[in-house]
Amino acid sequence: MTTTSETPAPARGRLLVVGAHSADFVWRAAGAVAKFVKAGGEAKVVALTYGERGESGELWKQEGQTEENVKRIRHGEAERASAHLGATFEAFDLGDYPLVNDHADIERLAGLMRDFAPTVVLTHPDTDPFNPDHPVAYQMVQKARLMTSGAGVESGFRTAPPSEFLVFEPHQPELCGFVPSVFVDITEVFEQKKAAMAEMKAQAYLQSYYAERAEHRGNHARKVTGTKEIRQAEAFMRLVPNVVGSL
């Protein structure tokens, strides 16, 4: 009797996206999240704050508006947006403008990483001259990720395997030291991204901006690959090298 061996299917990956505010993941990485889930992976979105003070201007125009109600609305928007992409959503509710880099909150984020054990982590770049919260979010994620993967005395920490680490495209890439090293073709999930963006009514003015940005990056991805079928893409910058068997 002849037996044949098959190459085992790759393990399902886990994608963790951490944003300073509840809508950040939608503009910068919704397409990548949808593609990851479509390929069989699991995705979790974490918002460190709701952006209730600094990113909810449309909501504050309503008479009698309260901070707690803004948070409630923003939570619902982010949950529905995540559902469009097949991801789960969790909010830390740490308070925005300014987001504070607190040790206990880093420990909380590290605990989540140990439990979820992401294979890929996405967050903000470390520089943003116009937003005080985005670099703080990066610092928190960077520290939590190092603690999770065993920085320090490994035996003193519960660890998880090292993840890939990338930052997503900021609003002003040329002012944030962002140089794309990865393009994700989101053509087949672009309608999902649009549906997720449409949920973010507190910042509806950004929907057209990021739809156009996806078209721009799609053009760049076509130039890089010669693949004419690419229409929309998202850009990311890798912070740690990826390891391959061959080039």
Q: Record the pTM.
A: 0.93
Measure the CA–CA gap between 182 and 185, rounded to whole angstroms: 10
Give residue-wise pLDDT tens across range 184-202. 999 999 999 999 999 999 9
**Res 151: pLDDT:** 63
Averaged pLDDT, 90-114: 97
HSE (side-chain half, CA atoms, 13 Å) at 83: 9
- Contact indicator for 119, 149 with CB cutoff of 8 Å: no
pLDDT at 121 over 90: yes
Rounded mean pLDDT, 81-96 = 98
Which tens digits make up the pLDDT trace of 171-182? 999 999 999 999
Is the sign of the CA dihedral 100, 101, 107, 110 positive or negative? positive
Q: For the chain, which domains are there? A: 14-238 (3.40.50.10320)
Would you say how long the chain is, in residues?
A: 247
Confidence of residue 159 (pLDDT cuts 50, 70, 90): confident
